[in-house]
């Protein structure tokens, strides 16, 4: 039976990425060797890394604007500490917007390095919205925000205009919507949502903001070192980088971010319309801040859960249970999830209504 994978991440990727990457494990570029056994310094893999870095910048519209793209180890969680290490001055401070669990983890890690000002938080309302009207101190070394909050299903629809560097964790919505990415000085994203499988992290950084923290940075945590070594400071995660390249190529062939944004809007509209229409359900996040990537919703009457769970499982849906912090359901609709899968879920929600 066809599966409809709503997993929050790692998550569905394009079918052609599965097919091409499985083939590369058996025979990469007709070399007679597996992509798992080739040197990262081989011509074929250097070409993969170079293309992946260039394509990331191209898709974001950041070519020739002073940015470098890196595919690093460690997940977004390693960036939580690399960012203050590289950007927070020794006696300086940083400003953070607290919009969810991951923003909070980034804040905790920054506190190991110095003064960390939380400009606003929606924690008291279980992160069901994005704070507004906050003031970012103009003497902070940088401002950090999280564009999409996977767990709570909220998404920043606008970003402040600042004189200080703006850093954004886009792990769960990068490459999903058009933005003026040149507003940001550092963007990072764990691969395992819209970019590829788990195991690599994209960092896009404006070079001019680096080298100013005055800290004694270990080489492996120093963005300058990674840039100098063209994202090969040490052996990169070869297969995750390759599968990420395949995913970025798929996106480019579709028409890039502008094209996928329309699909993502259609999927989100379809599902949110049903959540709002169907008397059995309610959305978890404040409507104005609803994420187009992760729709969080609840049954108005929890006793309907067993029958709803049975229905969606029978329809081939997986990965729908909500995170324990919110409960209910979470439909993650990343780039590779087809509109058809959302229709299947909406049909199940209607079917539940007809049965109650």
Residues classed as catalytic: 102, 169, 193
312 labelled ligand-binding: no
CA distances in angstroms from 201 to 80, 198, 335, listed in the order given: 12, 8, 17
Size of the site for its own copies (CB under 8 A): 62
CA distance 190 to 325: 21
- Can residue 108 be called a binding residue for its own copies (CB under 8 A)? yes
**Interface pick for its own copies out of 100, 153, 165, 236 (rule CB under 8 A):** 236
Question: Locate tokens 């205009």: which residue?
Answer: 161
41 labelled ligand-binding: yes
| Least CB distance to its own copies at residue 149 (A) | 16
End-to-end CA, the chain: 26
Q: Residue 156 has which token pair?
A: 């920043």
Task: List the one residue out of 55, 34, 26, 10 whose CA is nearest residue 246.
Answer: 55
- Can residue 233 be called a binding residue for its own copies (CB under 8 A)? yes
**Interface pick for its own copies out of 55, 70, 80, 103 (rule CB under 8 A):** 80
The pairing of strands 294-299 and 317-318 is: unpaired
Site string for its own copies, 31-50 (x = CB under 8 A): -xxx-xxxxx----------
Task: List the one residue out of 248, 336, 352 whose CA is nearest residue 4.
Answer: 336
- Can residue 221 be called a binding residue for its own copies (CB under 8 A)? yes
Judged by CB under 8 A, the chain residues 302 through 321 that form the site for its own copies are: 318-319
Got the DSSP string for 30-84? GSSS-TTSS-TTSHHHHHHHHHHHHHHHHHHT-TTTTEEEEEESSHHHHHHHHHH
235 labelled ligand-binding: yes
- Can residue 238 be called a binding residue for its own copies (CB under 8 A)? yes
Instruction: Characterise 7 by phi-psi region: left (phi > 0), alpha (psi -120 to 50), beta (else).
Output: beta
Site string for its own copies, 180-219 (x = CB under 8 A): ----------x-x---xxxxx---------------xxxx
Binding-site residue ranges:
41, 76-77, 102, 150, 169, 192, 234-235
Site residues for its own copies per CB under 8 A? 1, 3, 5, 7-13, 17-19, 21-23, 25-26, 32-34, 36-40, 73-78, 80-81, 105, 108-109, 112, 190, 192, 196-200, 216-221, 233-240, 243, 318-319
């Amino acid at each position: 039976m066809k599966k409809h994978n709503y997993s929050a991440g790692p998550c569905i990727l394009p079918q052609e990425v599965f097919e091409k990457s499985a083939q590369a494990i058996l025979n990469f570029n007709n070399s007679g060797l597996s992509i798992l056994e080739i040197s990262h310094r081989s011509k074929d893999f250097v070409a993969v890394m170079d293309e992946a870095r260039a394509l990331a910048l191209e898709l974001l519209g950041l070519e020739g604007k002073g940015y470098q793209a890196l595919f690093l180890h460690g997940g977004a969680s390693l960036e939580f500490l690399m960012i203050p290490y590289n950007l927070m001055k020794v006696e300086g401070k940083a400003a953070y917007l607290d919009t969810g669990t991951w923003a909070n983890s980034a804040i905790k890690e920054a506190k190991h390095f110095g003064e960390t000002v939380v400009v606003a938080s929606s924690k008291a309302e279980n992160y069901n919205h994005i704070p507004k009207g906050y003031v970012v101190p103009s003497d902070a070394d940088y401002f950090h925000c999280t564009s999409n909050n996977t767990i709570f299903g909220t998404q920043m629809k606008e970003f402040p205009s600042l004189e200080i560097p703006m850093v954004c964790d886009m792990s769960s919505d990068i490459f999903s919507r058009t933005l003026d990415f040149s507003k940001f000085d550092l963007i990072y994203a764990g691969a395992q949502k819209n970019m590829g499988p788990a195991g690599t992290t994209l960092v896009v950084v404006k070079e001019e903001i680096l080298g100013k923290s005055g800290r004694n940075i270990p080489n492996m945590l120093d963005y300058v070192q990674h840039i100098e070594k063209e994202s090969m400071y040490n052996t990169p995660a070869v297969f995750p980088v390759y599968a990420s390249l395949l995913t970025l190529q798929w996106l480019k062939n579709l028409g890039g971010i502008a094209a996928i944004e329309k699909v993502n809007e259609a999927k989100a509209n379809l599902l949110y319309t049903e959540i709002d229409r169907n008397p059995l359900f309610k959305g978890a996040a404040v409507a104005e801040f609803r994420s187009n990537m992760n729709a969080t919703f609840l049954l108005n009457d929890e006793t309907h859960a067993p029958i709803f769970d049975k229905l969606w499982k029978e329809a081939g849906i997986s990965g729908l249970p909500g995170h324990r912090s919110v409960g209910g359901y979470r439909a993650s609709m990343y780039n590779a999830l087809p509109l058809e899968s959302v229709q299947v879920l909406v049909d199940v929600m209607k079917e539940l209504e007809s049965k109650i």
